[in-house]
Amino acid sequence: MAQPSKFVLINEPYGVVSDPMDLVSLIDRKVYLRMAPISGRHVGAVGLGFSRKVFLGINVELPGLPLHHSIHAEQFLVVNLMLNSEQNLTHLAVSSSDSVFHAPCGHCRQFLQEITEASIIQVLIKDPALGIQEFVTLKSLLPRHSNLLPDLLQARDNKLLLLSSEGCEDLVLLRTALAAANRSFAPYSKCPSGVALKDREGKVYRGWYIESAAYNPSLGPVQAALVDFVISGGTKFEDIVEAVLVEKRDAVVSQEKTAKMILETIADPKCAVKVFHCV
């Protein structure tokens, strides 16, 4: 499960950020874990929650898979917020260096729009060469966005029930996947889903499908579970030896084939991926 040691800064001098510009000094915390083996472009995101805790995100590329399966640093940050029950984001800084801070990519600008009061999130823009250092609103970066149900970070219970647990050898893994599916944010397709992963040491990680009104920026449940894996100290995806996916029976949007394809590529070759259905 998510552990607030590396990716959530809650102790002095990092835990209380009196001036949002202090986020600039925290971006170098991203370098302790580099997970961009394909592009070599290591991006870090630092966010300030309403609780005044600082949350970190990094981009994660999945070896052997096309880059569109990657987890953007901003998406990683949002999952980090959700795993830690943080209900709002006030400030955001994104950088691939320690000096230049740029706006989130268009993909992530739309993804962030699902957050309550997303339009007023303050995004740091800094370029010493141009003499720029300021916060601008997310709304100014995406003025005419698709935004239908902006409550991504709010607590939810989809009230899903398993149809059967037959064939399940690990009820803890199954219950974790079901609990994740019940937290899934899928207001547009109405097809929530959740994934639970187990590593060689028996540790369990969870993630759920996160939908965007623009569809393509949506984040799959496996990627979300991989965020939990990385946050909790995991570095080698091949240490994942078992997985459970829970989704609706006859779902219009099914995660089964994609989940299996991702895990067959990055996890232990003998990783078992089991699918259970719910209503």
CA angle 26/84/87 to nearest 5° reads: 90
Closest CA relative to residue 50, chosen from 2, 115, 114:
115
Q: Residue 110, SS3?
A: helix
Query: How far, in Å, are 65, 145, 250, 276 from residue 256 at the CA level?
Result: 17, 30, 11, 10
Are the C-beta atoms of 105 and 125 separated by less than 8 Å? Answer: no
Active site annotation includes 74: yes
Query: How far is Cα 229 from Cα 226, in angstroms, rounded to an integer?
Result: 5
The single residue of 74, 86, 242, 247 carrying the catalytic annotation is 74
**Closest-CA residue to 239 (of 205, 271, 275, 207):** 271
User: Distance between CA atoms of 27 and 240, rounded to whole angstroms?
Assistant: 29
Return the SS3 of 41: coil
Q: In sequence order, which residues have a C-beta less than 8 Å from that of residue 252 and are 6 or more positions away?
A: 189, 190, 191
Going by DSSP bridges, is the β-strand pair 204-208/193-199 parallel, antiparallel, or unpaired? antiparallel
Beta carbons within 8 Å of 211's beta carbon, 6+ residues apart: 114, 185, 186, 187, 188, 189, 218
Q: Are 257 and 189 in contact (CB under 8 A)?
A: no
Measured CA to CA, the distance from residue 157 to residue 192 in angstroms comes to: 11
Residues marked active site are found at: 74
